[in-house]
């Protein structure tokens, strides 16, 4: 029998990274923000967490499902840890591994490629493009990811008592 705390943990493990990815893609596609390299790094563990959490709804056997929810929580926490590193780079607490990146999507002649390169925005990992109350998107990812991973871990523990 599935305990209510496990069911809630499984839903959080699916919906939290899916929601954070939707926010990231929404800010990119509709908000005009261009993700830097470290922004992409934060997305990969969330992609993995969504797939792992989906498997936790499909795979038979409670022990297997519990293990998958734990794995999803670890992937979410990894994204949060990358978010801390990225936010620290943005706030100049330490130097990041990369200074800037750019996405170039062009085909055709060499002149067309050069024009695309010259027109492409330079996206620096050490400068936030957007903040709210002084917290960047990387900072919010760290807060929500690490907080969510802790909530999932608490729900998965034997100490969580719901209904």
Would you give the DSSP letter of residue 59?
S
- pTM for the model stands at 0.81
Burial of 82 (0-12, 13-18, 19+ CB in 10 A): buried
The distance between the two most distant Cα atoms of the chain, rounded to a whole number of Å, is 66
Identify whether the C-beta of residue 101 lies closer than 8 Å to the C-beta of residue 36.
yes
Per-residue pLDDT of the chain (163 residues; tens, 9 = 90+): 458 889 999 999 999 999 999 999 999 999 888 888 888 899 999 999 999 999 999 988 888 899 999 999 999 999 999 999 989 888 888 877 755 545 555 567 777 777 776 766 677 777 778 778 988 999 999 999 999 999 999 999 876 565 5
């Amino acid at each position: 029998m599935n305990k209510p705390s496990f069911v809630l943990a499984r839903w959080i493990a699916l919906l939290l990274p899916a929601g954070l990815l939707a926010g990231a893609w929404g800010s990119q596609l509709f908000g005009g923000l261009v993700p830097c390299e470290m922004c992409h790094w934060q997305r990969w563990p969330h992609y993995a967490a969504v797939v792992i959490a989906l498997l936790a709804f499909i795979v038979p056997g409670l022990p297997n499902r519990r293990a998958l929810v734990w794995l999803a929580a670890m992937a979410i926490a990894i994204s949060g840890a990358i978010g801390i590193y990225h936010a620290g780079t943005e706030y100049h607490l330490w130097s990041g591994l990369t200074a800037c990146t750019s996405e170039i999507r062009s085909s055709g002649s060499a002149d067309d490629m050069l024009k695309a390169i010259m027109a492409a925005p330079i996206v620096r990992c050490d400068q936030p493009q957007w903040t709210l109350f002084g917290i960047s998107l990387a900072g919010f990812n760290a807060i929500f990811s690490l907080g969510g991973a802790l909530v999932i871990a608490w729900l998965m523990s034997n100490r969580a008592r719901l209904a």
